[in-house]
């Protein structure tokens, strides 16, 4: 299966995949891979190895697939799926010789159900001599992919804006309290003639936070908003996607 979005295809494409079955998800959270992982299952003597990796472009996804094919050159099948792009513009999957719809699409269904982005999965099958049937193949490729995802470190994907707040030292405690109450992630605090806090604010909180800061500081703080970005938090550090 191939699906690389063109101009004008967005709403139909998004609706199609937003309806995918759910896995590894709470609500409508979106995730990206922070640390790659690998999972393995055995089904009726066939071994399925799922390698999951973070990628930023389709070229990176194809390079990863090519590397896995070389690594497992002696395997019967190297099936794959990937989702790439800021708006998931490019989606592709392959059964690599398995019966149509029994490998690539199940892998892709797990990824979309998990709301993962910028990710590629290769599931390698070493044939064990026993036929699994279409249902057995779907279950095996799906389960192997889940095992691979569970071996990864996933970051929740947030959308927000960078904010620099400059203020007099007397306002520092009040501003820090406001940011803490709103769970705003502070990247750095710079101490000079004034104090400057660098933080990332979720998009849905931008207007309310700006209003509160202006009201609570008597308009004595300077707010400098940056561009919209997507980011995650890992080990108390900010990671930009």
Every domain of the chain and the residues it spans: 2-155, 158-240
User: For the whole model, what pTM was predicted?
Assistant: 0.73
- At residue 27, the pLDDT reads 55
The predicted structure's pLDDT at residue 23: 34
Looking at residue 32, what is its pLDDT?
84
What is the CATH number that goes with domain 2-155? Answer: 3.30.230.30
Spans of the chain, pLDDT less than 70: 1-28
* CATH number of this structure's domain 158-240: 3.30.70.240
Give the pLDDT confidence score for residue 14 in this predicted structure.
Answer: 32
SS (H, E, C) the chain: CEEECCCCCHHHHHHHHHCCCCCCCCCCCCEEEEECEEEEEEECCEEEEEEEEECCCHHHHHHHHHHHHHHCCCCCEEEEEEEECCCCCEEEEECCCCCCCCCHHHHHHHHHHCCEECEEEEEEEECCCCCCHHHHHHHHHHHHHHHHHHCCEEEECEEEEEEEEEECHHHHHHHHHHHHHCCCEEEEEEECCCEEEEEEEEHHHHHHHHHHHHHHHCCCCEEEEEEEEEEEEECCEEEEC
């Amino acid at each position: 299966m191939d699906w690389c979005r063109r101009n004008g295809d967005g709403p139909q494409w998004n609706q199609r995949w937003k309806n995918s079955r759910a896995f590894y998800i709470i609500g409508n959270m979106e995730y990206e891979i922070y640390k790659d992982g690998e999972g393995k299952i055995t089904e009726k003597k066939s071994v399925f190895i799922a390698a999951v990796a973070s990628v930023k472009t389709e070229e990176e996804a194809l390079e990863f697939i090519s590397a896995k094919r070389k690594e497992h050159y002696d395997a019967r099948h190297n099936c794959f799926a990937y989702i790439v792009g800021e708006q998931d513009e490019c989606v592709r999957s392959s059964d690599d010789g398995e019966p149509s719809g029994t490998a690539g699409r199940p892998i892709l269904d797990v990824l979309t159900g998990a709301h993962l982005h910028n990710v590629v999965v290769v599931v390698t099958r070493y044939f064990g001599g026993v036929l699994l049937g279409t249902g057995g193949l779907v279950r095996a490729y799906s389960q192997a992919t889940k095992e691979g995802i569970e071996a990864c470190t996933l970051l929740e994907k947030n959308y927000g804006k960078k904010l620099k707040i400059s203020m007099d030292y007397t306002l520092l405690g009040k501003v820090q309290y406001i940011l803490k109450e709103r769970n705003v992630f502070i990247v750095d605090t710079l101490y000079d003639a004034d104090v400057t806090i660098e933080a990332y604010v979720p998009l849905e909180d931008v207007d309310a936070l700006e209003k509160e800061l202006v009201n609570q500081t008597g308009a004595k703080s300077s707010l400098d908003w940056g561009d919209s970005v997507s980011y995650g938090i890992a080990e108390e550090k900010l990671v930009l996607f």
